[in-house]
Amino acid sequence: MDNINRRDFIKISSVATAGMALTWSGTSFVSDLLKGEVVPLSESIAKKVPTVCEVCFWNCAGWAYLDRDDNLQKIKGNAIDPHCNGRLCPRGTGGVGMYADEDRLKKPMIREGKPGEQKFREVSWDEAIDHIVKKMKGIEAKHGREAMALLHHGKTGPHFEFLFEAYGSGNIAEPAGAQCLITREAGFITTYGAGLASPEPTDTRNADCLVLIGNHIGENMHNGHVQDMSHLIEQGGTVITVDPRFSTAAGHSKYWLPIKPGTDIALLLAWMNVIINEEIYDKEYVEKYTYGFDLLKDHVQKYTPEWAAAITTLSAADIRKTAKVMAGLAPKTIVHPGRHTAWYGDDTQRTRAIAILNALLGSWGRVGGFYFPERIKPPHYPHPQMPKPKWTWKDYTKEKHKMAIMGITNIVIDHALPEYKGKHKIKGMFITATNIIQSVPDVEKTKRALQNLDLVVVVDTMPSEITGYADVILPEATYLERYDHLRTSHHKVPNIALRAPVMKPRWETKPGWWIAREIGIKLGLEKYYPWKDFEEVLDWQLKQVGTSLEEMKKIGVKRYSKKKPLYINENEEYWFNTNTGKIELYSTDFAEWGYDPMPVYKEKDEAPVGFFNLIYGRVPMHTFGRTTNNPNLYDLKEEGHLWVHPKVAKIYGIESGQEVWLKNQDGKISTFPSKVRITQRISPTSVYLPHGFGSKSKKLSRTYGKGSADYEMLTNIKIDPETGGTGMRNNFVTLLTENPHKNIES
């Protein structure tokens, strides 16, 4: 498998696909992990409690099984949960390690040393919250309530969003937007008038063809999608993978296109050229539902497969062939939108090209394409009207980036920098369940912003790097120890899921809802918190949607029947939520706002001589840096290896397993080395580094110093004009085989 000539177009044989189907049984790592199930559940289990996994943001619903002594034995998937269909991924099963980790934050702490120094004094919750409230009042007196910002992720976020809204501040953002999927949402909203959200509404179970553009399902372990793709492969469906790396998905694909990094828009335009010129697009669908086809047709004339071949390093014949394959199987062809799409700074345009291609194939709103999801949204627990802030993130973002549909982390951070002299200054920040040191690129800028703030509150479960920049650290209980808001996802099956506490919070940790409420009350916002316990909120909400907390504790997940159709009813008029009411192949908004109304290919930076494209992504066993210290998952994967092509290894004289340091185009050197994996699965012009490793927090006893951190190398950031999100893949590295820090250490 490692022996692949990647410059040849690879049509992996049907034998390979049949034999290597990406199943949840068989010999995959999944079954290896599940073999660890030593407890015969029926004999030792006394009770089960419903939970929703927080190890990643697929948020599978499961059951936590406890023995007679209330020891947590196992977490398993909830059979009626449409996110997981009864099966958790290995990370979810290992979620118990998040609870068990002895390195966890245990008590509230207040800073004593300088920022970054990690000297803290343990304090009571009262003292910590009094300190926060006093500081917030100081900021308010000088700069107004608006000068507070909240950066967040995951299910903790909404508790603090509520607090911020009640307080009167609207600077709220998350790396899971600007550093992840905002560009993709913008690309699809511009085209269809609808975004995708999570889980993405891809009807893969009914599809015949799945096209993955860098989307590395199988290493990206988003549960439902791994299962769906596995199903498609078992049914003999076609997977086309476009990736400069021979990913796990590529290994299960009929066609692998080893594209030159950064050139995907050229390929997408050439595919459109073939599909339009050979008249293999869905004519009836395009005629009926789209706007701007003739403009698009003219636009793509110059983007021939021959033109794209020169740019992408693929062959024109392969571009033609794959275009025909996907059109031949349409409309049951999904060109997957991807999820982490913050790549090169023209990402809204790339995802728009993907959206347009799906429209030509007629897959949006069609069986085996994209379905229309539905959501059960219980009303908010009644509360008085929230104050209206004088300004929010929108006031300093929307003018420049019209498709900033959510707060942009990096722009919020810009407003906290000492050199920012405008009227929208950020002076205090809450950072809940997000490690912006690792996840927002240009870390030196982030640090300068953090050091310039009058107050930094970090709410976390672990002593992650970000806690080292806090003034106050608040230890949250893990997801297994708390209630949270209901999971109310958009899905094929409308549903709600309950996360209930499985165990009592360890040490002095507290649930997010409790922390936010206590701060709110001390800030004088008690009218927004007429309830005492979050159970009251949940029970009230659940009763509005025909169930109750009592019932949900027994079933964990409630499924509802769908009210609206899953697909377009082609016998009726269908109106898209765009200016023209049609799928906009030509964007009327973009034309008005001065963005390219149809995607164009723009050249990317080339690697300097002796440097390689730095490609990063996921490893199956970890979620970013949030699990690298988890004892159960650490045992399965201690660190992510740096993938290096044999030719490159030979030039450097590197052996497998050897440690190397990275140096980027701006001279940045990685703090820690990575062990090398020599493999033909990566191009000789790139290296692949899994994200989430190389933590500098010594308090993470297992993962500290394991592997290089990709974020340290991300200094060249290209801002996506439409959204303000960050393109992070314009960085190049060279390898250092000698320890560059040797002299400093000795």
Q: Is the preceding omega at residue 199 within 30 degrees of 0, hence cis?
A: yes
The answer to the question of residue 461 lying near ligand MGD (CB under 6 A) is yes
- From candidates 617, 673, 724, 727, binder to ligand MGD by CB under 6 A: 617
Closest distance between ligand MGD and the C-beta of residue 547, in Å?
A: 25
Q: Which of 383/677 has CB closer to ligand MGD?
A: 677
Closest distance between ligand SF4 and the C-beta of residue 703, in Å?
A: 17
The answer to the question of residue 249 lying near Mo ion (CB under 5 A) is no
DSSP letter string, 113-156: S-TTS--EEE--HHHHHHHHHHHHHHHHHHH-GGGEEEEE-GGG
Report the alpha-carbon distance of residue 60 to residue 82 in Å, rounded. 8
Closest distance between ligand SF4 and the C-beta of residue 32, in Å?
A: 16
Sheet with 238-242: list strands edge to edge. Answer: 10-11, 255-257, 238-242, 209-213, 333-335
Residues 369-398 that bind ligand SF4 (CB under 6 A): none
Alpha-carbon radius of gyration of the chain: 25
Closest distance between ligand MGD and the C-beta of residue 571, in Å?
A: 36
- From candidates 20, 128, 180, 519, binder to ligand MGD by CB under 6 A: 180
Closest distance between Mo ion and the C-beta of residue 34, in Å?
A: 26
Triad 241, 245, 251: Cα angle to 5°: 55
Q: What single letter denotes the amino acid at residue 220?
A: N
Judged by beta carbon distances under 5 to 8 A according to partner kind, the member of Mo ion, ligand SF4, ligand MGD, none in contact with residue 88 is: ligand SF4
Output the 3-class SS for 590-612.
Answer: HHHHCCCCCCCCCCCCCCCCCCE
Closest distance between ligand MGD and the C-beta of residue 263, in Å?
A: 7
Closest distance between Mo ion and the C-beta of residue 417, in Å?
A: 25
Closest distance between ligand MGD and the C-beta of residue 350, in Å?
A: 9
- Residues with Cβ < 8 Å from 90, sequence gap 6 or more? 29, 30, 33, 34, 221, 620, 621, 633, 636
The site string for ligand SF4 over 222-261 (x = CB under 6 A, - otherwise) reads xx--------------------------------------
Report the alpha-carbon distance of residue 164 to residue 153 in Å, rounded. 15
Report the alpha-carbon distance of residue 712 to residue 725 in Å, rounded. 18
The answer to the question of residue 247 lying near ligand MGD (CB under 6 A) is yes
The site string for Mo ion over 337-356 (x = CB under 5 A, - otherwise) reads ---x----------------
DSSP letter string, 261-325: TT-HHHHHHHHHHHHHHTT-S-HHHHHHHEE-HHHHHHHHTT--HHHHHHHHSS-HHHHHHHHHH
Q: Which of 58/271 has CB closer to ligand SF4?
A: 58
Using CB positions, name the residue nearest to Mo ion.
Answer: 180
521 CB burial (10 A radius; 0-12, 13-18, 19+): middle
Closest distance between ligand MGD and the C-beta of residue 608, in Å?
A: 18
Bridge partners of residue 45, in order along the sequence: 67
Triad 479, 481, 486: Cα angle to 5°: 55
Q: Which of 56/163 has CB closer to ligand SF4?
A: 56
| Structure token pair of residue 66 | 């406890």
- From candidates 108, 331, 620, 640, binder to ligand MGD by CB under 6 A: 620
Q: Which of 424/618 has CB closer to ligand SF4?
A: 618
Q: What single letter denotes the amino acid at residue 138?
A: G
The answer to the question of residue 221 lying near ligand MGD (CB under 6 A) is yes
| Structure token pair of residue 244 | 């400069």
Residues 261-300 that bind ligand MGD (CB under 6 A): 261-262, 264
Report the alpha-carbon distance of residue 513 to residue 500 in Å, rounded. 13
Bridge partners of residue 202, in order along the sequence: 370
The answer to the question of residue 479 lying near ligand MGD (CB under 6 A) is yes
Sheet with 72-77: list strands edge to edge. Answer: 45-52, 61-67, 72-77
The answer to the question of residue 20 lying near ligand MGD (CB under 6 A) is no
Judged by beta carbon distances under 5 to 8 A according to partner kind, the member of ligand SF4, ligand MGD, Mo ion, none in contact with residue 691 is: ligand MGD
Q: Which of 224/597 has CB closer to ligand SF4?
A: 224
- From candidates 49, 88, 267, 319, binder to ligand SF4 by CB under 6 A: 88
DSSP letter string, 616-635: EE--TT--TTTSTT-HHHHH
Q: Which of 336/681 has CB closer to Mo ion?
A: 336
The site string for Mo ion over 254-273 (x = CB under 5 A, - otherwise) reads --------------------
CB-CB contact of 676 with 658 (8 Å): yes
For residue 41, what is the enclosing H or E element?
helix 41-44
The answer to the question of residue 433 lying near ligand SF4 (CB under 6 A) is no
The answer to the question of residue 221 lying near ligand SF4 (CB under 6 A) is yes
Name the segment binding ligand MGD (CB under 6 A); options: 51-59, 186-194, 665-673, 734-742. Answer: 51-59
Closest distance between ligand MGD and the C-beta of residue 317, in Å?
A: 19
- From candidates 49, 89, 149, 180, binder to Mo ion by CB under 5 A: 180
Name the segment binding ligand SF4 (CB under 6 A); options: 215-223, 365-373, 538-546, 573-581. Answer: 215-223
| Structure token pair of residue 48 | 């089960």
The answer to the question of residue 557 lying near ligand SF4 (CB under 6 A) is no
Report the alpha-carbon distance of residue 667 to residue 664 in Å, rounded. 5
Report the alpha-carbon distance of residue 38 to residue 23 in Å, rounded. 22
Bridge partners of residue 150, in order along the sequence: 172, 430
Among 318, 312, 322, smallest CA distance to 209 is for 322
Number of residues that bind ligand MGD (CB under 6 A): 60
Q: Which of 74/340 has CB closer to Mo ion?
A: 340
Closest distance between ligand MGD and the C-beta of residue 55, in Å?
A: 8
Q: Which of 340/485 has CB closer to Mo ion?
A: 340
Residue 170 DSSP SS3:
strand
CB-CB contact of 64 with 98 (8 Å): no
The answer to the question of residue 624 lying near ligand MGD (CB under 6 A) is yes
The answer to the question of residue 149 lying near ligand SF4 (CB under 6 A) is no
Residues 40-79 that bind ligand SF4 (CB under 6 A): 53, 55-56, 58-60
Residue 155 backbone phi and psi in degrees, to 5: -75, -15
Per CB under 6 A, residues contacting ligand SF4 are 53, 55-56, 58-60, 84, 88-89, 91-92, 221-223
Per CB under 6 A, residues contacting ligand MGD are 54, 56-57, 153-154, 156, 175-176, 179-180, 213-216, 220-222, 242-245, 247, 259, 261-262, 264, 338-340, 432-435, 438-439, 459-462, 464, 466, 476, 478-479, 615-618, 620, 622-626, 688, 691, 710-711, 714, 729
Per CB under 5 A, residues contacting Mo ion are 180, 340
